[in-house]
Structure 1
Amino acid sequence: MKKDNFPKEAQEIFQELYGKILMNSDYKNRMDSLISMFMSNFTTQAFEQIDILAKDMNIHSYMISMLLLVLSSKPLLKLYHERNISEEIYWNTAEDLTCKLKECYQLYGIWGTFVREWFPRFYQMARFALGRMQYEYSIFKLEEYSIGGFTVKKGDKVINMHIPASGSFTVEKRMDSYHKAYEFYKKDFEGRPIPVVCSSWLLDPALKDILPAHSNIRGFMNDFTYIRAYTEEEFHDAWRIFGKDASKPPKDLPRDTSLQKIFAEYLEKGRKPGKGYGVFLLDETGIIT
Structure 2
Amino acid sequence: MQDRIDSGITVSITTLTVAQVAERIDLQAEVRDELQRIDESGETLTDEGKEAVRGLADPQQCCESWTSLKTVLGDDPDGWHMLYWMLFAAGQYTFPEYCRIGIPDNVFDATMACFTRFIGEHRVSYGRYGFDRDFWTYRQLSARLFRLGELEFELAEGDNVPAVAGTPRVVNMHIPSDARIDPDHCDQSIARSRSFFARFFPDWVGLPYMCESWLLSPALEQLLPENSHILGFQHRFAILETNPDASDWREWVFQRSSAPLEDLPERTSLQRNMKQFLLSGGKVGTGTGRLR
TM bin (shorter chain) = 0.7 to 0.9
Percent of residue pairs identical:
23
Post-superposition shift, 1:157? 3.1
3-state SS in 2 of match to 1:243: coil
1:216–1:5 CA distance, 2 compared to 1 (3 A): farther
Deviations for 1:100-121, whole angstroms, at most 9, x for unmatched residues? 1112222334423212111112
Alignment of 1:23-42 (within 5 A): 27=43, 29-30=44-45, 34=49, 36-41=51-56, 42=65
The CA deviation string for residues 172-205 of structure 1, in whole angstroms up to 9 with x for no partner, is: 2211110111112236667974421101111012
8 Å Cα contact 1:233-1:272 kept in structure 2: yes
Q: Which amino acid aligns with 1:129?
A: R
Change over 3 Å in CA distance of 1:191–1:203 after alignment to 2: closer
Matched, 1:228 2:240: yes
Deviates more, 1:202-211 or 1:227-236: 227-236
Residue number in structure 2 paired with 1:198: 211
Letter in 2 for 1:257: T
Equivalent pair of 1:255/1:261 in contact (CA under 8 Å): yes
Aligned partners of 1:160 and 1:196 also within 8 Å: yes
CA pair 35-173 structure 1, distance change in 2 beyond 3 A: farther
Correspondence list, 1:48-67, <5 A: 48-51=71-74, 54=76, 60-67=77-84
Aligned Cα root-mean-square deviation (Å): 2.6
Distance 1:159 1:279, change over 3 A: same
Task: Please say if 1:119 is aligned against 2:119.
Answer: no
Please, which of 277, 287, 290 is the counterpart of residue 266 of structure 1?
277
Matches within 5 A, 1:101-112: 101-112=119-130
Q: Number of residue pairs matched?
A: 258
Alpha carbons of structure 1 residues 82 and 234: separation in structure 2 relative to 1, 3 Å: closer
Specify which of 155, 163, 168 is matched with residue 180 of structure 2: 168
Map 1:136-215 → 2, pairs under 5 A: 136-138=154-156, 141=162, 154-155=166-167, 157-186=169-198, 193-215=206-228
Distance 1:71 1:156, change over 3 A: closer
Asked if 1:9 is matched to 2:9, the reply is no
- What secondary structure, in the 3-state scheme, does the structure 2 residue paired with 1:169 have? coil
Letter in 2 for 1:10: V
Q: Which letter does structure 2 place at the counterpart of 1:171?
A: P
Shift of 1:229: 4.0
Q: Which amino acid letter does the alignment assign opposite residue 30 of structure 2?
A: E
Hey, what does 1:84 align to over in structure 2? 102
Amino acid of the structure 1 residue aligned with 2:35 = F
Long gaps (5+) in structure 1: 55-59, 144-152, 282-289
Question: TM-score, normalised on structure 1?
Answer: 0.79
Find the residue that maps to 1:279 and give its secondary structure.
strand
Is residue 239 from structure 1 mapped to residue 251 from structure 2 by the alignment?
Answer: yes
For each residue in 1:48-86, what CA deviation from the matched residue of structure 2 results, as whole angstroms up to 9, or x when unmatched?
11225x4xxxxx252222222222221121121112111
Matched-pair contact (CA < 8 Å) for 1:63–1:111: no
Give the letter aligned to residue 182 of structure 1.
R
2:69 is the alignment partner of 1:43: no
Structure 2, unaligned runs of 5 or more:
1-21, 57-64
